[in-house]
């Protein structure tokens, strides 16, 4: 079933909406979690990300049209934290702007919240739906700023479970959206390029490996193990090898578990991708230059 669905434009869209609609949403509890730690003077924060699905049409030499679904991920530039990582567009909350945009979404002034994804989200309760729209406006704003992906070009399909980062006090609120048609991206300084990963790639065990990072001594002294190892997906595009790992890997894994009841395979320990962890990985270029 999964492999046939990733080539079915309307079938997968409906299946994703129904699967995400059945999942409980813990966004209210996570906001309480952050607020309580702030009151105890513990620095916690969070932000939303948009996991963008896109159906790419293919045409053979005879003019027959088919297609397949893929994720449109951002590769982080060298000027930001976690340079070179693949991520979903998103970022920190802007209370005023995201609250204002959330109201526009609530009144249906943007087409992305007129579909079945929003209808099922409403059934989770007024307070939960309000938080979902607030976070969706956050994710859509960041997607516009980073990629010039218009909110008018995104249909909201549903929320995913939150994810807590391990190396900093931050909660990620992922939401799934379908990019309705191609557009001409204008990348911000935070984004190096857009990387397209077909959903079918995640069902191929040969694409999984162990990502082994050699950690500089200064970071080892801060508690990072050496080597620092994670499961990853290896994606080849345009003659380059892109590595999907960490938070975005885990968020996409939750998508596959909910939507397809599919768990990522444990990578073969003999298949290892070795890289050097940049010294400025947790800081970004500008902060490093100030040290």
Question: For residue range 172-216, what is the model confidence (pLDDT) as tens digits?
Answer: 999 999 999 999 999 999 999 999 999 999 999 999 999 999 999
Spatial strand order in the sheet of 272-276: 240-244, 228-237, 208-214, 272-276
Q: What is the pLDDT of residue 106?
A: 82
286: pLDDT strictly greater than 50:
no
Architecture of the domain delimited by 2-57+69-289: Alpha-Beta Complex (3.90)
Q: What is the pLDDT of residue 42?
A: 63
65: pLDDT strictly greater than 80:
no
Among 11-15, 58-62, 149-153, 178-182, which stretch is predicted with the lowest mean pLDDT? 58-62
Q: What is the pLDDT of residue 291?
A: 35
Q: How far apart are CA 206 and CA 204, in angstroms?
A: 5
Q: What is the pLDDT of residue 290?
A: 38
Calculate mean pLDDT across residues 82-108. Answer: 89
| pTM more than 0.75 | yes
241: pLDDT strictly greater than 60:
yes
Question: For residue range 242-282, what is the model confidence (pLDDT) as tens digits?
Answer: 999 999 999 999 999 999 999 999 998 899 999 999 998 98
Question: For residue range 123-136, what is the model confidence (pLDDT) as tens digits?
Answer: 999 999 999 999 99
Interior CA angle at 58 toward 75 and 68, to 5°? 60
Domain residue ranges in the chain: 2-57+69-289
SS (H, E, C) 82-118: CCCCEECCEEECCHHHHHHHHHHHHCCCCHHHCCHHH
Q: What is the pLDDT of residue 36?
A: 81
Among 29-38, 92-101, 170-179, which stretch is predicted with the lowest mean pLDDT? 29-38
């Amino acid at each position: 079933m999964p492999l046939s669905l990733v080539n079915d434009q309307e079938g997968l869209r409906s299946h994703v909406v129904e699967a995400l609609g059945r999942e409980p949403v813990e966004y209210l509890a996570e906001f309480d979690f952050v607020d309580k730690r702030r009151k105890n003077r513990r620095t916690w924060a969070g932000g939303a990300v948009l996991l963008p699905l896109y159906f790419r049409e293919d045409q053979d030499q005879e003019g027959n049209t088919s297609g397949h679904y893929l994720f449109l991920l951002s590769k982080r530039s060298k000027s930001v934290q976690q340079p070179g990582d693949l991520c979903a567009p998103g970022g920190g909350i802007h209370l005023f702007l995201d609250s204002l945009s959330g109201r526009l979404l609530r009144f249906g002034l943007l087409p992305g919240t007129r579909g079945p994804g929003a209808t099922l989200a409403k059934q989770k309760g007024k307070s939960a739906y309000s938080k979902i729209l607030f976070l969706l406006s956050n994710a859509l704003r960041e997607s516009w700023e980073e990629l010039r992906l218009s909110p008018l070009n995104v249909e909201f399909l549903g929320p995913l479970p939150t994810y807590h980062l391990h190396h900093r006090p931050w909660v990620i609120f992922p939401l799934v959206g379908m990019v309705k048609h191609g557009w001409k991206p204008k990348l911000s300084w935070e984004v190096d390029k857009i990387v397209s990963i077909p959903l079918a790639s995640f069902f191929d065990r040969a694409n999984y490996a162990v990502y082994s990072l050699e950690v500089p001594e200064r970071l080892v002294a801060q508690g990072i193990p050496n080597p620092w190892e994670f499961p990853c997906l290896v994606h080849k595009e345009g003659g380059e090898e892109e590595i999907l790992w960490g938070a975005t890997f885990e968020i996409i894994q939750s998508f596959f578990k909910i939507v397809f009841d599919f768990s990522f395979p444990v990578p073969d320990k003999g298949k290892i991708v070795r890289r050097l962890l940049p010294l400025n990985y947790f800081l970004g270029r500008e902060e490093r230059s100030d040290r």
